[in-house]
Amino acid sequence: MLLASGGGGRGSGELFVWDALSGERLYALSELSEIVYALAWSPTGVVLLSGSSDGALRWWNLERKECVRVRQAHQGTVQSLKTSPDGRSLASCGDDGAINVWELESGEHLCTLRRDRSYERLDISRVKGLTEAQKVSLRALGAIEVSAS
């Protein structure tokens, strides 16, 4: 039975894999540039998934002890990871307030779940007098600009 832990500091991250029964550290995966905040196991136990402070998800093949896939998942830290009961999907939650759903095997992004923000779907396309900074702020809060066709 294996156990994994993650962390880091000073701009580098580490993953440790442990023997849960003996408490012995089996190996470390330390080629990460960011702090590890979230971990999840694949159903087979061969792949370990990590989420870090750079918003990226990483798929680690533990038999080869290497990262086999990286996906940019969130703006800000990945706070939590969870595999689905059927083992087909992975959900990631981040500082950006989004929950992203991924196909576990391929790493394909399936959908994003997000609660409505203050100005969600407010069309500011024809609004006059807004500075570019104000538009950026409104878009960050969910506003949209529909291009004229």
139 close to 146: Cβ distance less than 8 angstroms: no
What percent of the chain has a predicted confidence (pLDDT) above 90?
Answer: 64
Residue 33 has pLDDT above 80, yes or no: no
Residue 149 has pLDDT above 70, yes or no: no
15 close to 55: Cβ distance less than 8 angstroms: no
pLDDT of residue 31: 64
H-helix or E-strand containing 133? Answer: helix 132-140
Dig out the tokens for 142 from the structure.
């969910």
Rounded mean pLDDT of 112-137?
87
User: Which CA distances in Å does 136 have to 106, 115, 142, 145?
Assistant: 33, 19, 10, 11
pLDDT digits (tens, 9 = 90+) for 86-118: 999 999 999 888 899 999 999 999 999 977 778
Rounded mean pLDDT of 59-67?
93
Closest CA to 60 of 84, 31, 85: 31
Give the ranges where 15-124 is alpha helix by DSSP (H): none
pLDDT of residue 11: 64
pLDDT of residue 5: 93
Rounded mean pLDDT of 80-89?
95
Please name each of the domains of the chain with its CATH number: 2-114 (2.130.10.10), 116-149 (no CATH)
For all residues of the chain together, what is the average pLDDT?
A: 90
pLDDT of residue 134: 93
